[in-house]
Structure 1
Amino acid sequence: MTVPAATPTLLQRWTAWRERRSAVRARQQLQRRCPQALALQQRLPSRLHAAWLEHATDEFPGLPSQEADWLLASTGLMQFFLAAARTDGPCALPSRAADAVWHAWLRWDATGLAAFQRERLGREVPHLKEAQLPGPLDHALSRCYAACCRAEQLNPLDGRLPLVFELDRLLRMPGGWHYAWHKGLRCLSHQVLDVDGDPRGRTQLHAVHGASLLGLGLLTASEQASWQQQLDRLGRQADARARGESGGSGSSCGSSCGTDTSSSACDGGSSCGSSCGSSCGGGD
C-alpha cells in the first residue's frame, strides 16, 4: 500500500516561499549586474545543480546551498569562465564558492564540462593548481579582475568589485576570501572568512593596482590618464610633507605597491586564495 506523502507544515511552506523569493531577487540583481554571465548560467546542464548539492558540501564544509546561493555561485563561475576565455594569459579564480561548482562539475562530468566550454566559450578553460599557473599569481589575479570589471562596466581603479570577487563575502562562505579595494594603498586586498563567514586575521595585500594593471596592458587610455593623475597628486602631497606643509595621507600603491608588479606584495601564494581559490583557471 502506498503511503501518502506528508503534507508540508506551515513553517516548511514559509521557508520554501522565502527561498524562492530570495532566488528571484538574486536573479534580478544578476540580470542588471552581469547579464552575460547569467545567460551562460542558464545554459548549465540541469543535473549539475544536484551534483553540486551532493558533492560540494563534502569538500567545502559549510557551503551555503540554498537556491539563491547556487545561482550566485554558478553565475560567479560563469563570469570567471568568460573572463578567462577572453583574456590573453592565465586568470586566477578569487572565490571558493565558485570553485566548489567547478569541482563538482569536474567530479560529475569532466568530459561534458570541456564540451560546454568549447561550445559556449570557444575554448577550454583548464583547471590548474597554483603551482601550474605560468607567471606570477597576482598577474593572473589582475587579468581576472580587469576582465570582470569590464564585464560589469566598472572602472578597475574605482574600487568597486565585480561579482566573482565579492561572491564569498556575499555568501559568507566559510574559509572563503573577503576581497576589498584597500582605500589607503589603492590596491586589492583580502581577509580569510572564518567558519561563520566573518573576515578574520590580518589583511593580505595583492600586487593588483594601477601600476600592475598598466604594466599588463589592462587599462584603457582614459584609465591610464586617471592613474597618472592620482600619482601626480600623491607626488605633490609627498613634496608638501617634505617641505613641512600640511598634505593628505599620501599613502598609495604609487609608492608601496604601485611600482611593484611582482607577486611579492601577496603574502605567499596562499594569500591570493590558495589551493584552487585564486589559482584555478587559466589558459596560456
Structure 2
Amino acid sequence: MSPSVTAPTLIQRWQRWREQGSARRTQAQLSRRCPQALALQARLPEGVRQAWEAHAADEFPGVPQGSREWLLASTALLQFFLAAARTDGPCALPSRAADAVWHAWLASDVAGLAAFQREHLGREVPHLPDSRLPGPLDHALGRCYAACCRQEQRSPLAGRLPLVFELDALTRMPGGWHYRWNKRLRCLSHQVMDIDGDPRGRVQLHAVHGASLAGLGLLSAAEAAQWAQQNERLARQRDGATGGSSCGSSGDGASASDCSSASGDGGCSCGSSCGSGCGSN
C-alpha cells in the first residue's frame, strides 16, 4: 500500500502563495535594476538550487532559503561574477548569502561551474580565500563596488549600494555583512550581523571612496572632477567651523587612511569581514 499524501493546510497554501508573490515582485525589481545578472540567473542549472537547498545551511547556519532569497542570492552572485570577469584586478565578494550559493555550486559540480563561467563570462572566476587575494582587500572591495554600480547604471559616487552589497541586509543573513554608504564620511562601511540578521557589530569603515576609486582608475574624468569639487566645497565649509572630518577630504593618499581602521596590507578593516573565503583574481 502506498503511503498517504497529506494535503497542504490552508496556512501552508497561503504561505506558498505569499512566497511566490514575493519572488515575482523581486524578479520585476531585479529586471530593472540588474538585467544582465538576472538574465544569467535564468540560465543556471537546476542542480545549483538543489545543492543550495540541501547543503548551504550545513556551512552557513540559518541561511534564508525561500524562493525570494534564492533569486536574490543567485542573481547577486552572478552580478559579482560579471564584475570579477570584467575588472582588471582582484575582486572581493561582500556577501555571505551569495557565497553560500557559490560554495554549494563548487561542492556539487565544480566542472559545471567552470564551464558555465567560460561560456557566459569568457573566463573562469576562481574562488580564493581573502588571504590569497593580491593587494589590499579594500582595493578588491572597491573594484567590486565600482563594477557592480556600473552594472546598475549609476556612478560609484551616487551613494546607493549595488545588489551584492545589499544582499545580506535584504535577506537578513545571520553572520552576514550589513553594508552602508557613510554619507558623512563619504565612504563604504559595514557591520557584522547577528544570529537574527540584525546589524550589531562595530561599524567598520573602508578605504573605498572617491579618492581610492580614482586612484584605482575606476572613476570617469567627470566623476573625479565631481569628487574634487565636493572636496573643495567641504574644505571651504571647514574653514569656518571647528572640528569635524571628511573621508578623503583632500583627495590625496593620506586621506584614504581616514576611512580604514588599518593600513590595508593584510590587516585592513575589510579583512575576513568582507569576503572570508570569497574573492577572485
| Same topology, TM > 0.5 | yes
Q: Which runs of 5+ in 1 are unaligned?
A: 243-247
CA distance in 1, matches of 2:182, 2:259: 17
CA distance in 2, matches of 1:78, 1:269: 28
Instruction: Show the counterpart of 1:211.
Output: 211
Structure 1 pair 37–126 and aligned structure 2 pair: CA distance change class (3 A) = same
Structure 1 pair 266–123 and aligned structure 2 pair: CA distance change class (3 A) = farther
Instruction: Show the counterpart of 1:245.
Output: none
CA distance in 2, matches of 1:236, 1:276: 35
Aligned to 1:181, what secondary structure does the other structure show?
strand
Structure 1 pair 179–273 and aligned structure 2 pair: CA distance change class (3 A) = farther
CA distance in 2, matches of 1:9, 1:141: 46
Structure 1 residue 205: Cα displacement:
0.3
Instruction: Show the counterpart of 2:249.
Output: 254
Instruction: Show the counterpart of 1:168.
Output: 168
CA distance in 2, matches of 1:254, 1:263: 9
CA distance in 2, matches of 1:6, 1:186: 55
Q: Which runs of 5+ in 2 are unaligned?
A: none
Structure 1 residue 282: Cα displacement:
1.7
Q: How many residues align?
A: 278
**Among the aligned pairs, what percent are the same residue?**
69
Instruction: Show the counterpart of 2:280.
Output: 282
CA distance in 2, matches of 1:75, 1:263: 33
TM-score (structure 1 length as normaliser): 0.92
Structure 1 residue 249: Cα displacement:
5.4
Query: Which runs of structure 2 are paired with 1:21-170 in the superposition (5 Å)?
Result: 21-170=21-170
CA distance in 2, matches of 1:264, 1:251: 9
CA distance in 2, matches of 1:206, 1:91: 15
* 2:149–2:161 CA contact under 8 A, matched in 1: yes
**CA distances 1:191-247 after superposition (whole Å, capped 9, x unpaired):** 0100111101221000000000000000011111110111111111222237xxxxx
CA distance in 2, matches of 1:20, 1:274: 35
Structure 1 pair 180–108 and aligned structure 2 pair: CA distance change class (3 A) = same
Q: What one-letter code is carried by the residue in structure 1 that aligns with 2:121?
A: L
**CA distances 1:74-132 after superposition (whole Å, capped 9, x unpaired):** 00000000000000000000000000000000100111111110111000100000110
Q: What one-letter code is carried by the residue in structure 2 that aligns with 1:54?
A: A
Instruction: Give RMSD over aligned pairs.
Output: 2.2
* 2:185–2:247 CA contact under 8 A, matched in 1: yes
Structure 1 residue 269: Cα displacement:
4.7
CA distance in 2, matches of 1:154, 1:105: 30
Q: What one-letter code is carried by the residue in structure 2 that aligns with 1:251?
A: S
CA distance in 2, matches of 1:10, 1:257: 62
Aligned to 2:201, what secondary structure does the other structure show?
strand
Please, which moves more after superposition, 196-205 or 138-147? 196-205
* 1:141–1:278 CA contact under 8 A, matched in 2: no
Aligned to 2:11, what secondary structure does the other structure show?
helix
Structure 1 residue 281: Cα displacement:
2.3
CA distance in 1, matches of 2:270, 2:193: 13
Instruction: Show the counterpart of 1:187.
Output: 187
Aligned to 2:189, what secondary structure does the other structure show?
strand
